[in-house]
Amino acid sequence: MTADAPPVVVVDESQDSAPPPSGVRVWLSRHPLAAYAIRRVGLYFVELWGALTIAFFFFRLIPGDPIQTLIQTLQQNYMYNQQASTELIARYQQEFGLTGNLFSQYLKYMEKLVLHGDLGPSLINYPTPAQDVILRALPWTIGLLGISAVLAWIFGVILGAIAGWRRGKLGSAIATNLSIALSHVPYFFVALILVYIFAYSLGVLPARSAYDSNITPGLSLEFIGSVLKYGLLPGLSIVIIGTFSWILSTRMLMVPVLGEDYLVYAEAKGLKGWRILTRYALRNCYLPQITAFGISLGFIFNGNVLVEQLFNYPGLGTTLVTAIQQLDFNTILGVTNIAIFSVLTAVLLLDLLLPLLDPRVKYWK
Amino acid sequence: MNNVSESVLEINGLEVVYSTNRGDVKAVRGIDLDVRRGEILGIAGESGSGKSTLAVALLRLLKAPGKVTGGSVVFNPAGRSPVDLLKVHGEELRVLRWSSLSYLPQGSMSSLNPVMRVQDQFKDVILEHAPDRRNSLHEMIPRLLAQVGLEPRVAKMYPHELSGGMKQRVLMAIAVALEPDLVIADEPTTALDVTIQRVILQSLADLRTDFGVTLMVISHDMGVHAQLADRVAVMYEGELVEVGDVRQVFKDPRDPYTRQLIESIPKLGRRAS
Ligand SMILES: Nc1ncnc2c1ncn2[C@@H]1O[C@H](COP(=O)(O)OP(=O)(O)OP(=O)(O)O)[C@@H](O)[C@H]1O
Ligand SMILES: [Mg+2]
């Protein structure tokens, strides 16, 4: 009798509560992957908002008066009237979004950023907007660092897998020890060696700038060739060190997998070595490398400051250094925002991708 | 039937040593044993007596620090010339695997690749050794699964979605997929509970009836041999102390150690019920 009573109550309740939400809930429980994706994307926007907010307040709290700096620059450059009129200062404060209290400044900044993609004027390039300054540098950084990072990952994972696979053999030992030695050498050190060899001693490759200044930028073969030639040394220095560190980490992930029962079983099955390496060994250890790759891709949007400085490459790293030297807050904050955006987006895409790559990754909890 | 030898496997003076930093462990000390075509041969012996070592040495899966230090293992696959398993290498060995000599590993819980569907773990080995069966895969895999009492939908599942008994059965089905001459099964029932053990033993017996494979079944449990084997070989500290017809051995064990093993069965039976 008691067993009969509860179902009746349950039925009544479900009829009382509004049907549409339960309809949505039913749909979501039938599509766990979609429910997961919706929740994950929602979380992404919360994270994005939180990180952008923290960055905004963080930079506002740094001491230093950008307007004073700008006025000084203008005075020096154009021999301005000793006392800049209060009117002028007020206009600049308006333009840089420095009027009102901190909270209303924040609201105005977010409004301009979200609705118009506007970061405010850049101080060093006044009155060019900071987003224009950043967008000018962005393709160089993406081109140089993005391509280098992808190449380093591909080379590193393949070589690392082979090094793990052939552990105990001489070639593997050499590759591993070389990786241990080189993966923690700073990029710029390798860059200096490459410059010494190829630019200074042999004189075959250029070591400064992003392209030959005698060639007009455009979609010409000549220009593209020049970009590739000028990008070779900085790119190579990143690829070399990156490859070694990926070799090391892939090998480290690979070796424990090689002791697993399913590898012995694959061998007993008489499968070809290459197939065992890819389908059994690598397939079970490459996921952490995908995650790590996504995160590292996010970080390249900070620019690789030292390499870009060394090669005088017009990327985000160079822009950031110049902006910091001149207290160009809008540009600094803009570069930070791009880094935040790209790291979070990369992690989001990975989280959405991983359940599809590994059946053991549960997405419904 | 002229070139089909009566023995599938002729083991002569097999010796295996593990070289550890505490000295050499002689795990297999000069074993002579024939495996007859079509029989189920049980290998008995307590834990550590060298049963698995014998199996992986035959299968050429022995890993460092293990090393075969002597003997020969002549394998007579039907329709192929006899080979010494200890002397084949590389491609010749790889081609022999599974199509002639397959394996049901001990601790089979982790022998399936966690990121591949069950059907793909059938597919890769079948296509590797019998590429002409590509078009019959869709009927072959469900049939093999049915043979060990599994539903066709298991083919689409991943190992982590299977129970221990289901994994064991999947491995049994994969082991006979290419109708090998010899299947070496290492402790096929050990990790399973008693009810599943019976089902697995029955399926193993059925496999012999249905596929005519020769089975070498390793188990420390004499009860398994009593149920399943035609002949039983008893190992003790790396040596064979007794080989014979299973009924003969149970009725009149010649070696005191064998008697001890047999006496331990009723105890197991009582615990199970
Ligand atoms: N990798 C190894 N290194 C050193 N010694 C080993 C190694 N593997 C096994 N041995 C030793 O070889 C002997 C036989 O081991 P083996 O695994 O063949 O026994 P088993 O009969 O299969 O036992 P179980 O019933 O527990 O599976 C044991 O003394 C063991 O300690
Ligand atoms: Mg064993």
pLDDT given for residue B108 in this prediction: 65
Nearest atom (ligand 1) to Cα of B238: 14
B58 touches A at CB < 8 Å: no
Using a CB cutoff of 5 Å, list residues around ligand 2, an ion: B 52, 106
> Which residues of chain A are within 8 Å of residue B124 when distances are taken between CB atoms?
269, 271, 275, 279
CATH number attached to the domain at B4-107+182-263:
3.40.50.300
Our CA-based measurement puts residue A316 at a distance from the nearest CA of chain B, in whole angstroms, of 40
The residue behind tokens 């890993």 is B63
Counting ligand 1 atoms within 8 A of each CB, the residue from B22, B25, B61, B224 with the most, and so the one to mutate, is B25
Task: List, in order, residues 6 or more apart from B227 with CB less than 8 Å away.
Answer: B201
The residues of chain A scoring below 50 in pLDDT are 1-17, 365
Query: Could A284 and B113 be called an inter-chain contact, meaning their C-beta atoms sit closer than 8 Å?
Result: yes
pLDDT given for residue A20 in this prediction: 56
| Most B CBs within 10 Å, among A269, A271, A356, A362, to test the B interface | A269
| Chain B contacts in chain A segment 278-307 (CB below 8 A) | 279-280, 283-284
Return the DSSP state at A217.
Answer: P
How far is residue A324's CA from residue A124's CA, in Å, rounded to a whole number? 10
Domain boundaries, chain B: 4-107+182-263
pLDDT given for residue A113 in this prediction: 85
Residue in A264, A267, A271 nearest the CB of B124? A271
Residue in A261, A275, A283 nearest the CB of B105? A261
Start-end of H helices in A19-97: 19-30, 32-60, 66-78, 86-95
What's the pLDDT tens digit per position in A182-214? 777 877 788 888 888 887 888 777 777 777 777
pLDDT given for residue B245 in this prediction: 92
Nearest atom (ligand 1) to Cα of B51: 21
Task: List, in order, residues 6 or more apart from B26 with CB less than 8 Å away.
Answer: B15, B16, B17, B238
Query: Could B115 and A358 be called an inter-chain contact, meaning their C-beta atoms sit closer than 8 Å?
Result: yes
What's the pLDDT tens digit per position in B28-41? 999 999 999 999 99
Nearest atom (ligand 1) to Cα of B45: 21
pLDDT given for residue A85 in this prediction: 61
pLDDT given for residue A215 in this prediction: 74
Q: Which value does ipTM take for this structure?
A: 0.91
The residue-averaged pLDDT of B75-83 equals 88
Domains of chain A: 35-116 (no CATH), 138-357 (1.10.3720.10)
Chain A residue with the nearest C-alpha to that of B97: A270
Q: In this structure, what is the dihedral angle of CA atoms B225, B228, B231, B236, given to the nearest 10 degrees?
A: -20
Query: Could A279 and B94 be called an inter-chain contact, meaning their C-beta atoms sit closer than 8 Å?
Result: no
pLDDT given for residue A143 in this prediction: 85
Nearest atom (ligand 1) to Cα of B106: 27
pLDDT given for residue B196 in this prediction: 82
Ligand closest to the CA atom of residue B220: 1
A362 touches B at CB < 8 Å: no
Q: Which residue has the higher pLDDT, A212 or B23?
A: B23
Query: Could B97 and A275 be called an inter-chain contact, meaning their C-beta atoms sit closer than 8 Å?
Result: no
What's the pLDDT tens digit per position in B96-133? 999 999 999 886 678 999 999 999 999 999 999 999 99
How far is residue A268's CA from residue A270's CA, in Å, rounded to a whole number? 5
Give this prediction's pTM: 0.78
What's the pLDDT tens digit per position in B213-227? 899 999 988 889 988
pLDDT given for residue A303 in this prediction: 57
pLDDT given for residue A121 in this prediction: 80
Task: List, in order, residues 6 or more apart from A13 with CB less than 8 Å away.
Answer: none
Residue B172 has pLDDT above 50, yes or no: yes
Cβ pair A270, B90 in contact under 8 A = no
How far is residue B58's CA from residue B101's CA, in Å, rounded to a whole number? 10
Counting ligand 1 atoms within 8 A of each CB, the residue from B18, B220, B225 with the most, and so the one to mutate, is B18
